[in-house]
Structure 1
């Protein structure tokens, strides 16, 4: 169902897998989740642990971000990297749950060596949050430090975990002016030279993945990959501007590669990946979104030798990051867990377009 080499939508040549194990297709990355999916509380937290020595970066473009420690991973800082990157629900309240991740990593001895303090480490854990407050019984019940610790312990265990669905930070996600369930999604793209680029996303956007006619904004990208998928029809129409459904949003993501990049190049990859949000969701990067993309490069594969060849490969990596993020956003919607009508939640893509969701999740 895929072509080995495909071009379109501004994409460079790339090959599969498109979905597979998602961000776990990049060796060495570990992740864990915690949260609650009940009729009274839908929220959670996801901790991603990069291999030691990974380069990290971030690009924040939304008008309403909820973030933590993003400045310390900007190019030009001490370039230590990060001991974990956290995606969480709960808006600014949810950022408090990151303390549980920090404490658990410190107990495991992971962190920046504290100057002058023997055996003391300071875990650096950049994070971003979505707004999912009130999804359930309407109460403010964000992820807790205990759940942050649970997610970190799950990641440290190294056990295989799910990378998509209504889990972790994607548990309470919605999109399209609250008209469709979002979730956690993850997809990977492998470049012809063997480098892997992958994305993990919490799809909780103000904008919709559907066109006014009920199809997908991503149809051109899917065709460029040579995918023959059932058509999507009947996605919810955009609610009126005065419906009161906005201001509860944000798309947050991590794009990762096994290429060896420096912090500036990793940040460039994160910057370029934002095009993947714009291509999948319209409108994107609004004042009501806190759209944030973290970059992570594990360094297992060297770029080609020579400035020209290395630059071309970096361009391909950045373009692939945008592709992977677009596909991960679609994956998040296709993988969302349907719940009983009595829960009062919007429908999932699998309920509206079951043939498409089944075919896409089978990739």
Structure 2
């Protein structure tokens, strides 16, 4: 079994679409499942913004969802799921109640309202339309990383954030992949240099191949925090082709959430709303429920950490005065071979 794109779409049956509005300085990313997928969620941040996450708890009746939505816009961005839901309903998707299709598209948002762009949108926010556009743009295969979709207005404590993805295969042959929008209170970089905290997990040179510094000092480990309180949150999704129950998917989400803590320092802060979904397409039997799930979580931790670094490595500085510089602008030239 070989991965082809190092993206979430390496899992068969997954489509990803972005809607990016540079004038707004924000956007939406929609992940659509060709068939409803078992889903769960882990909320590790202190200031989350979500829609329909209660139904993902293990004791709740609904087991499967049609899509997962990641968006900027803070609570205004929660309108995006309505746009994705509208597109899915047009396609005849959803649970059928009394002759009506009700698609399920749980969502998490990040705060990008103070990061530039024109947020004077009038009475209604643009996020429902952006959600619809993202759903209509969803496709299998390659999709853009960096300052696109939900990562458009994302920032971190040190460099521009963005949208990232990575994939891997467990020792038992299950596929696992992650997608993440990185808008953290903390920093993905070691100190003031170009190296990523996620460097031990890097595959090839997917985010520069720099490794870790040879030595760590107190200056490298001191807190680097975003200056504006409440302007944060990293949101993401890990998907596997294994057959999981909701409870098993919840454990996978918890372990994938550890990938944020291995790639961002600090993570899960009081003003982060860090949220990680986990979904399972069920195409491949799980096997041993303890050993195989442990391996899934081991790989999920790594692909999430890699996706965080790829998000930052791929980001571009937005075309606004005083916009936060991206990694490439700060470090790209000095690290070219």
Does the alignment reach a TM-score above 0.5?
Answer: yes
Name which of 228, 232, 235 aligns with 1:249. Answer: 232
Whether the aligned pair in 1 keeps the contact of 2:112 and 2:231 (CA below 8 Å) is: yes
Q: 1:278 and 1:134, CA in 2 relative to 1: closer, same or farther beyond 3 A?
A: same
| Aligned Cα root-mean-square deviation (Å) | 2.8
Name which of 172, 181, 186 aligns with 1:193. Answer: 172
Q: Displacement, 1:68?
A: 0.4
Q: Displacement, 1:282?
A: 0.8
- Is residue 2:294 matched to residue 1:315? yes
Q: Residues 200-279 of structure 1 correspond to what in structure 2 (within 5 A)?
A: 200-212=179-191, 214=193, 215-222=195-202, 229-230=209-210, 244-279=227-262
Which residue is 1:337 aligned to? 316
CA distance in 2, matches of 1:266, 1:102: 23
CA distance in 2, matches of 1:358, 1:332: 19
Q: Residues 129-148 of structure 1 correspond to what in structure 2 (within 5 A)?
A: 129-137=109-117, 139-140=119-120, 143-148=126-131
Q: Displacement, 1:122?
A: 1.1
Name which of 3, 8, 13 aligns with 1:28. Answer: 13
- Is residue 2:57 matched to residue 1:74? yes
Per the normalisation by structure 2, the TM-score is 0.88
CA distance in 1, matches of 2:296, 2:176: 7
Q: 1:240 and 1:110, CA in 2 relative to 1: closer, same or farther beyond 3 A?
A: closer
Q: 1:96 and 1:226, CA in 2 relative to 1: closer, same or farther beyond 3 A?
A: closer
Listed as ranges, the gaps of 5+ residues in structure 2 are 214-218
Q: Displacement, 1:283?
A: 0.8
Q: 1:140 and 1:49, CA in 2 relative to 1: closer, same or farther beyond 3 A?
A: same
Q: Displacement, 1:246?
A: 3.0
Which residue is 1:328 aligned to? 307
Q: Which string of whole-angstrom CA distances, capped at 9 and with x for unpartnered residues, describes residues 174-233 of structure 1?
A: 011xx31111000001123321101000000001012235343223334xx686923578
Q: Displacement, 1:261?
A: 0.8
CA distance in 2, matches of 1:49, 1:202: 16
3-state SS of the aligned residue for 2:210?
coil
Q: Displacement, 1:353?
A: 2.4
Q: Which string of whole-angstrom CA distances, capped at 9 and with x for unpartnered residues, describes residues 105-148 of structure 1?
A: 1122111111xx22x11111110000001332463556421111
Which residue is 1:7 aligned to? none
Which residue is 2:163 aligned to? 184
Whether the aligned pair in 2 keeps the contact of 1:32 and 1:48 (CA below 8 Å) is: yes
Listed as ranges, the gaps of 5+ residues in structure 1 are 1-14
3-state SS of the aligned residue for 1:293?
strand
Q: Which string of whole-angstrom CA distances, capped at 9 and with x for unpartnered residues, describes residues 46-91 of structure 1?
A: 1111232421111111100000000111112113411111000000
Which residue is 1:169 aligned to? 150
3-state SS of the aligned residue for 2:5?
coil
Per the normalisation by structure 1, the TM-score is 0.82
Whether the aligned pair in 2 keeps the contact of 1:94 and 1:144 (CA below 8 Å) is: yes
